[in-house]
Amino acid sequence: MFLDFSEPSISRKYQSHLFNGRSNALTKPQYLRYGGKWVSRGRRALANSRNQASYNRDSCQGKRNHKDNHKLLCRTMEGSMDKQSSGNSGCIWHPFTQSALDSTPIKIVRGEGAYLYAESGTRYLDAISSWWCNLHGHGHPYITKKLCEQAQKLEHVIFANFTHEPALELVSKLAPLLPEGLERFFFSDNGSTSIEIAMKIAVQYYYNQNKAKSHFVGLSNAYHGDTFGAMSIAGTSPTTVPFHDLFLPSSTIAAPYYGKEELAIAQAKTVFSESNVAAFIYEPLLQGAGGMLMYNPEGLKEILKLAKHYGVLCIADEILTGFGRTGPLFASEFTDIPPDIICLSKGLTGGYLPLALTVTTKEIHDAFVSQDRMKALLHGHTFTGNPLGCSAALASLDLTLSPECLQQRQMIERCHQEFQEAHGSLWQRCEVLGTVLALDYPAEATGYFSQYRDHLNRFFLERGVLLRPLGNTLYVLPPYCIQEEDLRIIYSHLQDALCLQPQ
């Protein structure tokens, strides 16, 4: 366990307001105890705080007094806890889960480093960084400390013409690290939304200049999210079939995979030459959910040159690849042609809180600056620029830029390469890019709904490894804090999986 922060500091003024001098007030407030039990003391704190809030309970709820409220609250919490403990999760609709076929969701109670701990006592090695977002391990004390400090200052404020120090500090630290020219930041709260914002910016950028451009171009096998715009630019996919009639106008070109660069470049030239193309959207060098597919940076460079030539905006989706996943801080560094817009999320906060950024050039931003209010980017979300998310991002960035983190990333890449050299020929495909190892299980059935997917998933869970396959594609994308011996455990199970025969 990294840290127990059960007794954060709190001002006397706030204690007085929260508990109003009640004899049963807590003298040592306990908001959250990492990995510990908080219910018995937390009930009292929560009951008291709700009963001593700014409204009057007597006027709002008639004759119900403090004691009755306390009992009611405790009964409600006990009932809720019992339901959770019994494993009754039927009321929760889980993402990418077929409840009629999949097993009961595993209840995780805590995380530490590269490991997750289930209520049953089982320990799981998080080989995929909990959907690619956890950079530095679960329960990292530095990020936790910074979050606690910020929570006692400012938890949230409207971001429409308001700002705060964590956001200002974050953009000032990120700007010099990003590809050249990217210096105008728009905040949101998840990767799909950052893509939607980039698409809206691209269309309105031309609209504000009295130009009609609304067509988008993406790469085959891409994935940019599950909102309608993001789905539209990824082309046809088994997961998006019900929605095809609602897609925005878009085209896909071949990705510049090794040996197929000429086809991709030729298709790009044809499509980009059309007058209504607003933007080209791409995952630089690594296509995540499409199968952890890796492609040639030189091929991408030629496509970006064509986009610039035809006046097509380039949008880099670095939601997965950002913050060191592929080796350099951003995968866009593999080419010397910076994008016009970059989308960041996932590892932005180290996996602690939802936060995303859509970052543009000054030239694009200036097209929205006008005496005409209608030319502003009329887009926003309730939690845009949340101070807690920004604080987590600042802490995560500090860790990412440390020499120790660089050494860890280099160690992961070295271990992946050693595995590839020793065992890569046994797999249908075995590729390494930075901290990402991608393998295709040798099978005739491929694709997201391959019969091997469920069998492989179960195989690794039974061995205490969280390694969620993409069809018959397995990948290792661990937190940077993982130890070499843990990687060896994963590799050993990967080799054992080669003998698996679906029943």
How far apart CA 108 and CA 9 sit, in angstroms, is 28
3-state DSSP helix/strand/coil % of the chain, to nearest 5: 40, 15, 45
11 is in an annotated binding site: no
223 is in an annotated binding site: yes
A 10 A CB-CB count for 24 gives 10
382 is in an annotated binding site: yes
How far apart CA 285 and CA 240 sit, in angstroms, is 23
50 is in an annotated binding site: no
How far apart CA 386 and CA 167 sit, in angstroms, is 8
192 is in an annotated binding site: yes
103-111 CB contacts, 8 Å cutoff, 24+ apart: 103/458, 106/461, 109/35, 110/1, 110/34, 110/35, 110/138, 110/139, 111/137, 111/138, 111/139
Q: How far is CA 222 from CA 251, 253, 255, 391, in A?
A: 12, 10, 9, 31
How far apart CA 198 and CA 342 sit, in angstroms, is 8
380 is in an annotated binding site: yes
> 323 Cβ partners below 8 Å, 6+ apart?
135, 329, 330, 344, 347, 348, 396, 397, 400
DSSP letter at 425?
Answer: G
Side chain identity at residue 397, one-letter code: L
Work out whether the CA dihedral 320, 475, 119, 5 comes out positive or negative.
negative
How far apart CA 299 and CA 260 sit, in angstroms, is 9
Burial class (CB within 10 angstroms; exposed 0-12, middle 13-18, buried 19+) of 120: exposed
A 10 A CB-CB count for 463 gives 16
Burial class (CB within 10 angstroms; exposed 0-12, middle 13-18, buried 19+) of 250: buried
**For tokens 């880099």, what's the residue?**
316
Structural contact between residues 215 and 277, judged by C-beta atoms closer than 8 angstroms: yes
How far apart CA 20 and CA 369 sit, in angstroms, is 49
CA 64 to chain centre: 44
Residues that constitute the known binding site:
131, 191-192, 223, 317, 346, 380-382, 468
Residues that constitute the known binding site for substrate:
131, 223, 346, 380, 468
Residues that constitute the known binding site for pyridoxal 5'-phosphate:
191-192, 317, 381-382
